[in-house]
Amino acid sequence: MIEPLTIRDTAVGGVKLLRLRHAHDAVRGDLAVIEFAEALPFTPQRCFWTYMIPGRQVRGEHAHRLCSQFLVSAHGACRLRLDDGQSRAEIALDRPEIGVLVPPMVWAEACDHSSDSVLLVLASHAYDPDDYIRDYSEFLDLLKHKQP
């Protein structure tokens, strides 16, 4: 039997934790599925994954101006640190049926990777270096200017 998709909000504005449709089969193995129209508010334009992250290295450490991302641990485990300038959250990605939807203007860092970690990312936009905010102070300044 395939379990239903569940979505819940987190403490960080716009970030959602999704438990994907999944089925457990002790004989044939498990299955997790992303039905894009049901689970994501965008059609992915880019897919990439990180792996073989050495030691205590941190990936991400940026926000996007326009791009949304959906992150899921395809193998192994890592933690996501998320920050919208007012609230912060840490989320463990340690099961392939759990994913996190990160909207634009949320600072994201992936850390504490297990040696076998494979972090899969679906992005709403093609790669554009101008979409990245890589300086945390600049990120906070942009948020201040965005406030009414």
Tell me how far the alpha carbon of residue 118 is from its chain's centroid: 13
Nearest 10 degrees: CA dihedral of 67, 109, 62, 8? 30
Active site residue 62: yes
Distance CA 86, CA 84 (A): 6
R_g of the chain, CA atoms, integer Å = 16
- DSSP string of 76-105? S-EEEEEE-SS-EEEEEE-STTEEEEE-TT
Q: Which of 24, 62, 64, 145 is catalytic?
A: 62
Q: Euclidean distance between the first and final Cα of the chain, in Å?
A: 48
Q: Which residues are catalytic?
A: 62
